[in-house]
Amino acid sequence: MSNNLIIVESPAKSRTIGKYLGKDFTVKASMGHIIDLPVKEFGIDIDNGFAPKYVTMKGKAKIITELKKAAAKADTIYLAPDPDREGEAIAWHIADIVSKVNPTAVVHRILLNEITKNAVKAAIATPLKIDLNKVNAQQARRILDRIVGYKISPFLWKALYRGLSAGRVQSVALRLICEREAERDAFNKEEYWTLEVNVRKADGRPFTVKLFKLDSKDPDLKNEPATDAVIEAVKGKEWKITDVSYKTKRRNPLPPFITSTIQQEAARRLHFSASKTMSLAQQLYEGLDLGESTVGLITYMRTDSTRVSNDAKVAASKYIEDTYGKKYLPETFKEYKKNENAQDAHEAIRPTNIDKAFEPEKLKGYLSKDQYRLYDLVWRRFLASQMVPAEFDLTTAEIEIGNVTFRAAGSVMKFDGFMSVYGQEEPQNKQDTDNETPDDDSTILLPELIKGETITPDNFDKEQHFTQPPPRYSEATLVKELEKQGIGRPSTYAQIIDTLKKREYVELEQRRFTPSLLGKTINGLLVKEFPDIFDVSFTANMEDHLDKVESGEDDWIELLKQFYEPLKKDLKQAQEKARELKKSLEEESGEICVRCGQKMVVKWGRNGRFLACSAYPACKSTKPLEEDLHDASGPAPDMHCRLCNAQMIVKRWKKSRFMGCSRYPDCKGVMPYPVGVKCPEENCTGYIAERYSQRGKIFFSCSEYPKCKFASWSKPVNKACDNCDSQIMLEMSTKAKGNFLRCIKCKAETLREQEEVD
């Protein structure tokens, strides 16, 4: 019988560790938290020093019983939840339980930055005590969040409707999204023009120059006449190269991943949500079955440090030298600048084994598709971070004609360096990358240019542009902004974003966040009534105070007092005018109640906005709001109701559209919305219609479902294939190929841009 007990959080981690340690150790899983604040009551005694009331979580009684049985038989108990504040709190609660069952057992805390045999044995050999400062920092965070959730959410219920939630950090993230949308709404676009000239050398070799300076200043061409004036000023003049310069530019590798950057890069390159990235990273960390053994493939994924152990650096150096050659190794190990806000508790995210046997391609058969993609990203990013910079030979040539200067610039890669492993991918937006990319014109290969040689302009290419509003946040850029502003901590970003989406406070359009009307309304109320609590800098400062609690500098009870006193005053004032605020959110509709003849007003309810009689409660008449259920585009040609044969019209309900009978409410016939394409299945008389999955994602299927099972995530369009007799193609889009069409029959592809030009 084993007399050593190890308690971890997940069954996957327990299986991995159990295989490492053998029969002398029993490994049990707590399945995450087992003790927490009660769900159906506030659970905080504010008057008694914010004393929390902890209870057994629903469904965890059986797990606690198993842990008690195992603890009663053990001489030594090792608590190994995740090495962060939350894990420390879990360990603290478990320690309290097992110590009561077996007071003579020795209880240790062990930290596992990676789940490998050597790391587990090393942790057991150097056990620690539970860090009460960490526990108190987590308690403070949990209580702060409970106070906001249980005290401010009821205010939203009174002002809008029951069921809404306000979160201490999530509401500040919502504020960022709403403020960005307000910036876009207030943005006034301005016209500007650019000028390029296609020129050629005396031997006929062509290249392109761009307008670079006008009167020794950056050009500011506001309109076409100003652009034409520049063209006229240089036409007919002698064009000579007045200066040619050569230099070598180095592009440095990025640091290894931390929690925020792995979320950003996985969103940018793999199109993963933050929650999906963290879930996959957790699986890679806890351990996966590789046939003969179970191994944790990456280090702990909740970290804000780019620090790497010397052992990992040595292993990476050996692998790089063996695989790529010595010229790819720097003279000394790479060190990256520490973020001033970083706690630096754990290493950067990296592979646990830098060895040919653990190359992503060799493990592909043991991993799911997405596990492999994320592991491959971590692998390449880490190796690249330990390699030398890439080098480019840059050539710049200038042509001065009076007060006008044109410039040509181009580059050739001299040495690929780290880019041999982690090649540059074009970001969707400049804000989607945290590494500087070369200017567009520096990627052009130029012919040999000589100072003083004459060139000939062939044609002038002027182009009109308009300034663009600041882009909406993507998951990657929102994570980046949260980190920049110090809002929350990287380990909480995925949960913040998930909450905003699940609550429908935001919507995703082309992977960009827009605040919903509900989100805008909630944000307006919270910012107006609680200006301090939901202030960006206030929330960031609170994170700093929590860090100080963890380091032992601040007292957690005192921190809660400082937070609660101003909130208490704001809350009292807000509660007093909640009904007044609810009334102020009502809008005139212009409609008359059919029951009593009074005006109808727009109100908020659990299912969104609706029309209600202004005479409520005397009259309780309600009806759907016409902007949620409205005629979208007039009569639909050749579509008649299957119930009464009346004309069908396009209607909307929330985000979806459908065909509704024009005789509604007398007839309630509905049909799915057509996309103008007949079903491609043989002998089927149906049409392709828009439909929505349970998660709200649009797909396309036959109107005759379930008779016809045709379905596609890509939209079918009426377009003849050049390769076969099919008359239908699918609209597709990938990051690598952009927009293109794929034949539904032979799978031949046509670039969408080319098809549109044709």
Question: Catalytic amino acids?
Answer: 300
Could you write out the DSSP letters of every residue in 451-465? Answer: TT-B-EEEEEEEEEE
- Among residues 413, 403, 444, 437, which one has the least CA distance to residue 209? 444
- Among residues 1, 57, 49, which one has the least CA distance to residue 30? 57
Number of alpha helices (DSSP H) and beta strands (DSSP E) in the chain: 19, 33
DSSP element (H, E) containing 660: strand 656-661
**Residue type present at position 125:** A
- Among residues 542, 546, 529, which one has the least CA distance to residue 584? 529
Tell me the C-alpha distance between 499 and 509, whole Å: 17
Tell me the C-alpha distance between 135 and 79, whole Å: 14
For residue 536, give the 3-state DSSP assignment.
helix
Whether the ω angle into residue 706 lies within 30 degrees of 0, i.e. cis, is yes
Tell me the C-alpha distance between 629 and 631, whole Å: 7
- Among residues 221, 354, 247, 223, which one has the least CA distance to residue 299? 354
Three-state DSSP string of 393-417: EEEEEEEEECCEEEEEEEEEEEECH
**Residue type present at position 451:** K
Neighbours of 729 (CB within 10 A): 27
Question: What does the angle CA 141 – CA 146 – CA 152 come to, to the nearest 5 degrees?
Answer: 125
Q: Residue 67 burial by CB count (10 A; 0-12/13-18/19+): exposed, middle or buried? A: buried
Three-state DSSP string of 232-274: HHHCCCCCEEEEEEEEEEEECCCCCECHHHHHHHHHHHHCCCH
Cβ neighbours of residue 658 closer than 8 Å, sequence gap 6 or more: 650, 651, 652, 670, 671, 672, 673
Q: Is the dihedral of CA 500, 503, 508, 511 positive or negative?
A: positive
Whether the ω angle into residue 617 lies within 30 degrees of 0, i.e. cis, is yes
Could you tell me the two tokens for 431?
Answer: 């804000």
- Among residues 24, 375, 397, which one has the least CA distance to residue 205? 397
Q: How far is CA 657 from the centre of its chain?
A: 28
Tell me the C-alpha distance between 329 and 342, whole Å: 28
Whether the ω angle into residue 680 lies within 30 degrees of 0, i.e. cis, is no
Catalogue the long-range contacts made by 642-646 (C-beta closer than 8 Å, 24 or more residues apart).
642/669, 642/671, 643/667, 643/668, 643/669, 644/669
Strands 587-592 and 631-640: unpaired
- Among residues 700, 556, 555, which one has the least CA distance to residue 139? 556
DSSP element (H, E) containing 121: helix 117-125
